Amino acid sequence: MNQELINAFALTFFAGLATGIGGIPVLFSRKMNTRFLAGSLGFSAGVMLYVSFVELYATGTSLLESSLGSGTGTRISTLAFFAGIMLAGLIDKLVPEEQNPHEIRFSSETGSPGSQNTFHPLYRVGLTTAFAIAVHNLPEGLATFAAATSDTGLGMVVASAVAIHNIPEGLAVAIPIYFATGNRIKAFWYALLSGMAEPVGAVIGYMILAPLLGATLHGSLFSLVAGIMVFISLDELLPTAEEYGEHHLCIYGMVAGMLTMAASLLIL
């Protein structure tokens, strides 16, 4: 295996580990900080929107135009972008609302940890959320792998965006399991394991798509993933951030996310 593939797998693994970061607060906190969560969701949305339009869609269009010509390349890139939006919407529709990782709600006071048992609905919510997040993370792992095999710098940007997006998802897994069982370690490990679907997505990409990853497929994947990330940001992350916190806190978080990604792109 060459260094390029090793780097791609490493970046994908890094992105998946971020769900474990989302589980860390349960190791130290007894209450849910809704203001922090609202800001982090807004931040994640800003990162994903900026990367989608400035990097992924632009790069996808450029690759397709270079391989298929200006007119055809632009049309296919546009179709792939909206196909990504439709795909994300379909996946979201197929996951029941009460089990959807982007639809889960917590109050600032969730009760006393451990006062529930493992048969409490919160425990089932946590387990089902972990499974749903794992399903969502498969295409993200594939996207990170595809980006990294094309350009290591772009792969780092995509991996960072996906990692930031994964942090609140890990929190969404850990919080209900912790408050249902009172077991901080179990809650953390479930959050961490839910992100391991990212490297699984990379393995799928390597085994199935690696021989086909030319400019046309790379470009199509980038535009497709841009559409997926835009849908997640606008339909799920920002509305959920509004639910948790005040409007301006969400917007400030979003702008901070955009600025962070802009700075990282200039550095990279």
Q: Residue 108: its pLDDT value, please? A: 46
Residues 118-135 have pLDDT tens digits of: 445 556 656 656 666 676
Q: What is the mean pLDDT of each run of 10 residues along the chain (268 residues)?
A: 78 87 78 69 79 85 91 95 88 61 49 49 61 68 76 79 76 73 84 84 74 75 82 79 78 88 72
Residues 225-244 have pLDDT tens digits of: 788 778 878 887 788 778 76
Q: Residue 62: its pLDDT value, please? A: 92
Q: How does DSSP classify residue 99?
A: G
Q: Residue 163: its pLDDT value, please? A: 83
Nearest to 237 by CA among 136, 138, 155, 142: 136
Residues 196-214 have pLDDT tens digits of: 888 887 887 777 766 666 7
Q: Residue 119: its pLDDT value, please? A: 45
Q: Residue 214: its pLDDT value, please? A: 72
Q: Residue 176: its pLDDT value, please? A: 65
The answer to whether the Cα torsion of 238, 243, 248, 253 is positive or negative is negative
The boundaries of the domain holding residue 50 are 3-267
CA 231 to chain centre: 11
User: What is the total count of domains within the chain?
Assistant: 1
Residues 195-210 as b or e (16 or more Cβ within 10 Å = b) = bbbbbbbbebbbeebe
Which secondary structure element, helix H or strand E, spans residue 203, and what is its range? helix 197-204
